[in-house]
């Protein structure tokens, strides 16, 4: 093409200069005469259009006479077997089974609150005390009565063992003692409900009811306690993945807000398909040693559902489809230096990942495939290879 540009430049110079008596473009510009300048521009525009027409005619003739001008220019690459790990991309929310609002089991004034927000507590630790309404004094009296009933029964039992006294006396003292014991135990159980204990180890996230308030059993929320150690991400997985997304599968968990990513595994895969959205639940246990991950935080998940140890991957952009719906690519055959022949190969594809797709059948390892220019070649057409990626 270089000689065409030289021809174009020469023609412009010839047109602008013309005969010796004609003024040059520089001379006309120097006159500052608008009419002369416009006239000169019109002459040059006409000359340029004429030259463009001639160039096109020359190019067409060159392609007719030179067979090399008709050969498409392409690049190619060699297929390589690689490990293909496919992931299902979903979104989930962080949750914990130990995120609980504590309610009282007894009604009365909240006399004492022993903890504050943000405090770490252990399982069974005392959190608050509710006024027992005098039941402690009743318990003391019942314990005295129970002690007397026990002493009377033990004495009667010793006499009974020696065959002294009547059986009815023995049974009456025994029954009285057991009744007193049951009354004491029952009252102790009621009093125990006035004490609020931590159901598990965790952090007091919120003190909802302040000291001195009157609370109602099962109705007045007292505290929110959260354990940030036993955390997991829950998500809904489409039912078509039920045989692929199973317990133990690898998961890449990303928390965009925290700019944090970690590897985890599927802890539990549900066996129930939700008829409303045709999904099943999956739980992924996560490490939260630093306690930066909070309940209800959004997480992006990549769950491994498929692995092929010897997969052939090709760009999706080079795949075409015929009238029968079959997919095909062009391979390189009859290679001689830079020249080769493109051959159409029908392929069957599998899963995709990004811009690449897995080829299940139709291609073998080490075969050359047309990359750039794949859309412009035909089956059996000669091509010129500019570059082959992966060639030795």
Q: What is the pLDDT of residues 25-68, one digit of tens each?
A: 888 888 888 888 888 888 889 889 989 898 888 877 776 666 55
359-369: pLDDT as tens digits: 999 998 989 99
Mean pLDDT of 72-76: 88
Residue 11 has pLDDT above 60, yes or no: no
pTM of the model: 0.57
CATH top-level class for 73-83+309-389? mainly beta
pLDDT for 6 beyond 80: no
Q: What is the pLDDT at residue 65? A: 66
Q: How far apart are CA 357 and CA 315, in angstroms?
A: 6
Q: What is the pLDDT of residue 101?
A: 93
By CB atoms closer than 10 A (0-12, 13-18, 19+), residue 262 is middle
Q: How many CB atoms lie within 10 A of CB 116?
A: 8
Evaluate whether 88 touches 353 at the Cβ level (below 8 Å): no
Distance CA 30, CA 46 (A): 22
How far does CA 275 lie from the centroid of its chain?
A: 23
DSSP characters for 202-269? EEEEEE-S-TT-EE-TTTS--EEEE-SSSEEEEEEEEGGGTTTS-TT-EEEEEETTTTEEEEEEEEEE
CA distance 80 to 391: 11
- Provide the pLDDT for residue 159: 81
Higher pLDDT: 93 or 68? It is 93
CB 344 within 8 A of CB 327: no
Exposure letters 272-281 (e unless 16+ CB within 10 A, then b): eeeeeeebbb
- Fold identical between 89-97+226-308 and 104-224? no
Residue 25: count of CB within 10 angstroms of its CB: 17
And the tokens for 217? 């059993």
Q: Choose the weakest-confidence range: 60-74, 155-169, 248-262, 339-353.
A: 60-74
Residue with tokens 């719906």: 325
Residue 21, pLDDT > 80, answer: no
Helix (H) or strand (E) run with residue 279 in it: strand 279-286
Q: What is the pLDDT of residue 137?
A: 86
Burial of 166 (0-12, 13-18, 19+ CB in 10 A): exposed
How far is 78 from 168, CA to CA, in rounded Å?
A: 103
Cα(283)–Cα(336) distance, rounded to whole angstroms? 57
Q: Hey, which residues does 300 pair with through a beta bridge?
A: 91, 254
Q: Sheet of 223-226: strands edge to edge?
A: 99-102, 223-226, 202-207, 120-121
Residue 3 has pLDDT above 80, yes or no: no
> In which band, very low, low, confident or very high, does the pLDDT at 7 lie, cut at 50, 70 and 90?
very low
**Predicted pLDDT at 338:** 85
- What are the structural domain ranges in the chain? 2-68, 73-83+309-389, 89-97+226-308, 104-224
Q: How many residues would you count in the chain?
A: 392
DSSP3 helix / strand / coil % (the chain, rounded to 5): 30, 40, 30
- What percentage of residues in the chain have a pLDDT greater than 90? 45
Q: Which CATH class is domain 104-224?
A: mainly beta
Class of domain 89-97+226-308: mainly beta
């Amino acid at each position: 093409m270089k000689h065409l540009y030289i021809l174009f430049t020469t023609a412009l110079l010839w047109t602008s200069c013309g005969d010796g008596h004609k003024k040059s473009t520089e001379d006309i510009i120097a006159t500052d005469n608008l009419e002369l300048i416009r006239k000169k521009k019109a002459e040059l525009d006409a000359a340029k259009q004429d030259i463009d027409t001639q160039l096109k005619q020359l190019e067409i003739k060159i392609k007719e006479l030179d067979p090399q001008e008709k050969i498409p220019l392409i690049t190619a690459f060699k297929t390589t077997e690689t490990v293909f790990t496919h992931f299902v991309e979903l979104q989930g929310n962080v949750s914990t089974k130990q995120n609980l609002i504590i309610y009282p089991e007894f009604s009365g004034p909240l006399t004492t609150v022993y903890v504050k927000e943000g405090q770490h507590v252990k399982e069974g630790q005392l959190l608050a005390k509710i006024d027992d309404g005098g039941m402690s004094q009743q318990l003391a009296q019942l314990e005295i009565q129970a002690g007397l009933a026990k002493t009377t029964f033990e004495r009667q039992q010793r006499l009974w063992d020696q065959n002294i006294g009547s059986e009815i006396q023995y049974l009456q003292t025994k029954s009285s003692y057991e009744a007193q014991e049951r009354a004491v135990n029952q009252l102790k159980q009621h009093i125990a409900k006035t004490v609020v204990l931590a159901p598990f180890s965790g952090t007091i996230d919120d003190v909802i009811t302040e000291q001195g308030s009157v609370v109602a059993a099962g109705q007045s929320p007292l505290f929110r306690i959260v354990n940030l150690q036993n955390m997991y991400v829950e998500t809904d997985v489409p039912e078509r993945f039920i045989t692929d997304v199973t317990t133990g599968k690898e998961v890449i968990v990303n928390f965009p807000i925290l700019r944090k990513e970690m590897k985890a595994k599927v802890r539990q895969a549900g066996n129930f398909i939700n008829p409303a959205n045709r999904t099943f639940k999956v739980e992924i246990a996560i490490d939260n040693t630093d306690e930066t991950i909070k309940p209800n935080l959004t997480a992006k998940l990549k769950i491994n559902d498929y692995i092929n140890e010897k997969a052939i991957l090709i760009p999706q952009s080079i795949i075409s489809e015929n009238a029968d719906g079959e997919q095909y690519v062009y391979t390189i055959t009859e290679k001689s230096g830079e020249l080769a022949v493109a051959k159409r190969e029908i392929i069957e594809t599998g899963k995709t990942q990004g811009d690449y797709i897995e080829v299940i059948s139709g291609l073998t390892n080490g075969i050359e495939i047309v990359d750039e220019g794949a859309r412009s070649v035909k089956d059996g057409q000669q091509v010129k290879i500019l570059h082959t990626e992966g060639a030795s």
